[in-house]
């Protein structure tokens, strides 16, 4: 089977979408009868085919600056390139990972060539709204416009739509979809994280020996506006009034430099480390989870949250914002606590409660290991294989 994965922004940019796409492309490229390509906007602006850095080729389309997120690029004029790519490579199925310019062009041309298309809706529409900086009176109208445009696109272009969580499925249904919607977890390699061990070399490399003397509250992910990290930052001094602890933020993003400057101006700067980013397949990432005492995820618009699943696979209790898809992973009082994502006091109380009670922490960590089992990455691959075969088998070719 020849599979195309399409998305506007791909690696080296790290996000849930790019990580999920890479895992799928990597897995299916290993099949003897499969041929896999990723189509994405070029990070340097120029058309190129990258066939050396991954196990599958990446066709990077000529791109231009993104006016909303300036560090990323988009392919406004992808259509001429897409026509040639489809004529040259002739895929059996196209799996869109976002609904933007490259995906729109692929879907348009695939319909003319009778190539089946499916898509994954990776995010809530609250995510793009967070970056548009619209006044409140325009947000509702903009949301309705986006819902209408997306439902028209998916209904007219795709044979099926995948959601990573029930939260996203429920949101999609409200748009007025008339194609099948399947919920498939983004998945996590449970054994990779569960079996990781912290080495002396790792501790020395990141100068962590003294830092490990106190419990560690850990966050990993993008350091961007939608992650709501300012609430976690405000919770730190409240936690430190009650118990000694250290905090690690691991990741990259548009607000990283701002976060570093804010922490440098605080009285608790010695208790905080900002590191990364790390390769999401790195053993060192798994080791970071292993040194943590608990994991904090303050976002409340997560479509699923790969990092929360990684923390669960590492046996950590979770303190998370009670919103988005996080309640599907975090069971309040079970493997952690769900709190009001806009109240730093609630984050602090939950963190303190876990840090002060070793038995509770152990019990919650064990519950995380139990709850993460259905999200094993092998289940994710199997479900995608089934939907690819079903769509290709039932697609009318004439």
Domain ranges of the chain: 2-187+376-394, 190-375
pLDDT attached to residue 225:
87
How far apart CA 354 and CA 370 sit, in angstroms, is: 18
Q: Which residue has the higher pLDDT, 54 or 110?
A: 110
Please state the pTM of the whole predicted model.
Answer: 0.93
Distances in Å between the alpha carbon of 67 and those of 71, 76, 267, 329? Answer: 9, 12, 37, 34
pLDDT exceeds 70 at position 374: yes
pLDDT-derived band at 127 (thresholds 50, 70, 90) equals confident
User: Rounded mean pLDDT of 149-166?
Assistant: 97
User: Rounded mean pLDDT of 195-209?
Assistant: 94
* DSSP bridge partners of 336: 318, 332
pLDDT-derived band at 140 (thresholds 50, 70, 90) equals confident
pLDDT-derived band at 183 (thresholds 50, 70, 90) equals very high
Cis peptide before 12 (omega within 30 of 0): yes
Q: What is the mean pLDDT of the chain?
A: 94
> Is the CB of residue 305 less than 8 Å from the CB of residue 328?
no
Least confident among 205-209, 332-336, 378-382 = 205-209
pLDDT exceeds 70 at position 27: yes
pLDDT over 90 percentage in the chain: 86
pLDDT attached to residue 68:
75
Q: pLDDT (tens digit, 9 = 90+) per residue, 276-334?
A: 888 888 999 999 999 999 999 999 999 999 999 999 999 999 999 999 999 999 999 99
pLDDT exceeds 90 at position 70: no
Domains 2-187+376-394 and 190-375 share a fold: yes
pLDDT-derived band at 128 (thresholds 50, 70, 90) equals confident
pLDDT attached to residue 206:
94
Three state DSSP letters for the chain: CEEEEECCCCCCCCCHHHHHHHHHHHHHHCCCCCEEEEEEECCCCCCEEECCCCCCCEEEECCEECCCCCCCEECCCCHHHHHHHHHHHCCCEEEECCCCHHHHHHHHHHHHHCCCEEEECCCCCHHHHHHHCCCHHHHHHHHHHHHHHHHHHHHHHCCEEEECCHHHHHHHHHCCCCCCEEECCCCECHHHHHCCCCCHHHHHHCCCCCHHHCCEEEEECCCCHHHCHHHHHHHHHHHHCCCCCEEEEECCCCCHHHHHHHHHCCCCHHHEEEECCCCCCCHHHHHHHHHCCEEEECCCCCCCCHHHHHHHHCCCCEEEECCCCHHHHCCECCCEEEECCCCHHHHHHHHHHHHCCHHHHHHHHHHHHHHCHHHEHHHHHHHHHHHHHHHHHHCCCC
pLDDT exceeds 70 at position 398: no
**Tokens 């004529």 sit at which residue?**
87
How far apart CA 39 and CA 51 sit, in angstroms, is: 12
The CATH number of the domain covering residues in 2-187+376-394: 3.40.50.2000
User: Rounded mean pLDDT of 391-397?
Assistant: 88
| CATH architecture group of domain 190-375 | 3-Layer(aba) Sandwich (3.40)
Q: pLDDT (tens digit, 9 = 90+) per residue, 213-261?
A: 999 999 999 999 889 999 999 999 999 999 999 999 999 998 999 999 9
């Amino acid at each position: 089977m020849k599979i195309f994965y399409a998305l506007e922004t791909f690696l080296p940019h790290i996000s849930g979408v790019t990580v999920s796409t890479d895992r799928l492309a990597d897995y299916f490229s290993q099949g003897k009868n499969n041929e896999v390509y990723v189509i994405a906007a070029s990070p340097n602006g120029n058309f190129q085919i990258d066939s050396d850095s991954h196990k599958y080729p990446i066709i990077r389309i000529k791109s231009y600056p993104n006016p909303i997120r300036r560090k990323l690029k988009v392919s406004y004029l992808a259509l001429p390139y897409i026509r040639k790519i489809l004529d040259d490579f002739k895929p059996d199925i196209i799996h869109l990972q976002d609904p933007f310019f490259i995906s729109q062009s692929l879907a348009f041309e695939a319909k003319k060539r009778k190539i089946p298309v499916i898509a994954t809706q990776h995010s809530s529409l609250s995510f793009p709204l967070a970056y548009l900086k619209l006044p409140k009176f325009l947000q509702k109208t903009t949301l309705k416009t986006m819902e209408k445009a997306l439902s028209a696109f998916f209904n007219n272009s795709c044979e099926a739509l995948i959601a990573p969580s029930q939260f996203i499925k429920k949101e999609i249904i409200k748009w007025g979809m008339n194609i099948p919607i399947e919920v498939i977890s983004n998945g996590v390699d449970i054994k990779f994280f569960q079996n990781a061990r912290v080495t002396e070399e790792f501790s020395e490399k990141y100068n962590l020996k003294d830092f490990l003397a106190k419990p560690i509250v850990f966050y990993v992910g993008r350091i961007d506006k939608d992650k709501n990290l300012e609430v976690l930052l405000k919770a730190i001094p409240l936690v430190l009034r009650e118990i000694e602890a250290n905090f690690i933020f691991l990741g990259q993003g548009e607000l990283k430099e701002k976060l570093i400057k804010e922490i440098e101006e605080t009285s608790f700067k010695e208790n905080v480390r900002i590191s990364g980013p790390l390769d999401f397949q790195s053993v060192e990432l798994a080791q970071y989870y292993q040194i943590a005492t608990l994991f904090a995820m303050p976002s409340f618009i997560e479509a699923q949250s790969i990092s929360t699943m990684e923390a669960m696979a590492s046996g950590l209790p979770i303190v998370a914002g009670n919103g988005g898809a996080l309640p599907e992973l975090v069971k309040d009082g079970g493997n952690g606590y769900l709190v009001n994502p806009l109240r730093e006091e609630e984050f602090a109380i939950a963190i303190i409660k876990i840090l002060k009670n070793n038995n509770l922490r152990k019990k919650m960590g064990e519950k995380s290991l139990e709850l993460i089992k259905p999200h094993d990455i092998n289940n994710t691959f199997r479900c995608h294989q089934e939907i690819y075969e079903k769509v290709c088998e039932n697609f009318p070719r004439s």
